[in-house]
Amino acid sequence: MNPFTDAVLPLLLIALLGLALRRIGFFTPERRQALEVTVYYVLVPALILSRLARAEFGPDLLGPLALSILLPVFAVPLVLSGLRAVLPGPPFWLRGPALPCTLQGIIRNNVFVTLAIGQAVMGDRGALLMALAAMFNMPAANLLSVGALVRFDQGGGGTAIRAVRALAGNPLILATLGGLALGLSDLPLPAPVLRGGDLLAAGVLPLVMLAVGAGLTWPALRGGLVPLAFTSAFKLLVMPALGFLVATLADADPELAFAVVLFHAAPAAAGAYLLARQLGGDDELMAAMVSVQTALAALTMPLLLTLARGLLG
């Protein structure tokens, strides 16, 4: 068994445990909500903040990372627009409320998964790089998603404004900005504060994967398997390849290029389903995309990480 499988397999087993606990009734909706809220608002921000506050980074890291994360994301709307122009019809998943879900299924990343696997595979450095990658990805992906949903939906702009405000108050983004500010300022933090942050961060990996497994569902899909196959292949295979290409052209160091592949190889974020419901998208299609990608990523991520490590030497 290769080292990446050694690191990822225990996380997958914990996710399966979360699924099993939900199936037997232990994770009731109330307990799941409590777990997800704790992870989202407390543990993951603590992990991000504690890693960034003591990290050393500069333009030589942030520049290539920003390009490698953002260029593939902004290329996706262009690809989908080209397909809409070329394909006869076009098919339902490239028009109406389904189109923003196709977009979200490709450009949004499950930050919980990237942080957990980044920490498992690359240690504290991996958690740092995943947090920085999320800082670039989340605002861009959310703004593109909201814009597409508002354009193709019957919904109102007031909901879109609330979604943008929620993005501005996102605890993960706020933790990233706070950690960057602390890291760049070289402001010394009291040892008990740092130790407390480390203790909170230590609980992230297992609880994140329990939450991922507990939230895994298999909703019915209207319209066949084509949109699932397209978005899964694009998200789990093409996006990591595009990120790797950009990182290589940007002369990123091997560790950073590997981290870019890891970030882009993650499945779509569960938050995409909530956003689709709020803004009138095809939430059934979105839920199916998230669930299928989460399952397939268990196979594709170890393979891609092994391949990337081999190419990078």
Residues 166-179 have a mean pLDDT of 74
pLDDT single digits (tens) 173-191: 788 788 777 777 777 777 7
Q: Which of the two residues, 280 and 42, has the higher pLDDT score?
A: 42
Give the pLDDT of residue 154.
46
Higher pLDDT among residues 81 and 157, named by residue: 81
pTM beyond cutoff 0.85: no
Question: Torsions phi, psi of 223, nearest 5?
Answer: 100, 5
- At 281-291, the pLDDT tens digits run 677 788 788 88
Q: Name which of 17, 255, 4 is nearest 126 in CA terms.
A: 255
Structure confidence at residue 156 as a pLDDT band (50, 70, 90): very low
Pick the more confident residue, 73 or 271.
73
Q: What angle do CA 51, 211, 4 make, to 5 degrees?
A: 60
For residues 175 and 208, what is the distance between their CA atoms, to the nearest angstrom?
17
Question: What are the CA-CA distances from residue 97 to residues 152, 154, 230, 271, 296 (Å)?
Answer: 6, 9, 17, 17, 25
The candidate with the shortest Cα–Cα distance to 244, out of 262, 231, 269, 232, is 262
Query: Among the ranges 85-99, 147-161, 279-293, which has the highest mean pLDDT value?
Result: 85-99
Q: Tell whether the model's pLDDT for residue 158 goes beyond 70.
A: no
Q: What is the pLDDT of residue 199?
A: 80
Sign of CA dihedral 225, 227, 230, 231: negative
Please report the domains of the chain, with CATH numbers, ordered by start residue.
3-307 (1.20.1530.20)
How confident is the model over 262-277, as a mean pLDDT?
Answer: 80
Give the rounded percent of residues in the chain with a pLDDT score beyond 70: 83
